[in-house]
Amino acid sequence: MRGMSEPPPPTAVSSGPEGQEALVVRVDSRQCDIRLDDGSMNPALLRGKLFENRGRDKHPVAVGDRVRLARDSAEEGWAIEEVLPRRNAFGRRVAGEDYDLRQVLATNVDQVVVVNSLGLPPFSSIVADRILATCSFAGIPSVMVLNKIDKAKRRKLEKIVASYANAESPVIQTSAIEGDGVEELRECLVGKTSVLYGLSGAGKSTLMNALDQNLQLETREVSASLSSGRHTTTFSRWYPLQDGGAVIDTPGVRKFRPFGIPPHELRLHLPELRERGVECHYPACMHRGEPDCAVASALDQNQIPASRYRSYLELLTELEEVYGGTGSNEPKSGPDHKTRR
């Protein structure tokens, strides 16, 4: 149950002066920041041919990529010649006119840490479930962080935690302000490359500052009138952690659109539905009113959280509008589709 296949591996190259390799730590238009193997940070331009071979990705290079460099004769600096094979990629579908493209947020990661707020902005199971399904599709382990627990009512917190008991994603409860759960989160991150991702204002930057005081990332208050956060982080960036490992901080979102998941496969990326689905009468049951549906029976008996099932139905409808109901992961085309997002 892997995500979309990456481009074929390039021919192996040496790591001499014109074959130097590096890690991409920040991407901005046609320039990146890279980290050489000696730990030094440098800017690097992107060769035009990278944009010619980007496939269905909006941008050819992403944070976390290992790249091969060459000297740029005009600037006497570095230029990215080639993106080396990716172990995995975490991304989303681009909104607007480029809806059929993927925005890759990070690559070559060990886990995605989905940061949720229990204060402002309010917790959104639909957003969290979309991100978790995307992680499953990409073959990337995920962790659920419930931040701002100091703002949550106890019964609501317990209900949310219970709804993810069988989601195959560990749940960590934190308060970046009070310090609760920070040590548990730190232990989860040690020795790994992790993506922090979630709604704007969920507290990603504040959590990172609590994890490593040397970072001193900018933070902002959440707008109470809009019940949403402001974009403090405007681009993805890789940060090393003092205790080992690294974190990729990402811009917050208000809506997350999964990319490339064939509609008929979505049921396989919600563990509760996947497990109960093997008991359905029809092997390809979509769990939408088919006879003898084991998922429907489990819902009636409160064995599957209703919130998770609602997320499934909403996302399934969206994926069918984008990719069609036949299971193809090729976007539909035509002017009528562009108005339905």
> What is the tens place of the pLDDT at every residue in 146-202?
999 999 999 999 999 999 999 999 999 999 889 999 999 999 999 999 999 999 999
Tokens of 316: 């399934």
Percent pLDDT > 90 in the chain is: 68
Average pLDDT, the chain: 86
Mean pLDDT (whole number) for 286-299: 96
pLDDT above 90 (res 85): yes
Banded model confidence at residue 28, pLDDT cuts 50, 70, 90: confident
Nearest to 24 by CA among 64, 57, 54, 58: 64
- pTM score, whole prediction: 0.86
Banded model confidence at residue 281, pLDDT cuts 50, 70, 90: very high
Mean pLDDT (whole number) for 25-54: 89
Distinct helix (H) and strand (E) counts, the chain = 9, 13
Over the Cα atoms of the chain, what is R_g?
21
pLDDT above 50 (res 126): yes
Banded model confidence at residue 213, pLDDT cuts 50, 70, 90: confident
Residue 30 is predicted with a pLDDT of 74
Give the Cα separation of 7 and 54 in Å (integer).
9
Tokens of 311: 């997320």
Give one DSSP letter per residue of 288-318, joined into a string.
SS-TT-HHHHHHHTT-S-HHHHHHHHHHHHH
Tokens of 194: 């992790």
Give the Cα separation of 119 and 269 in Å (integer).
28
Give the Cα separation of 201 and 275 in Å (integer).
34
Which residue has better confidence, 234 or 246?
246
* List of domains in the chain: 21-86 (2.40.50.140), 90-249 (3.40.50.300), 263-338 (1.10.40.50)
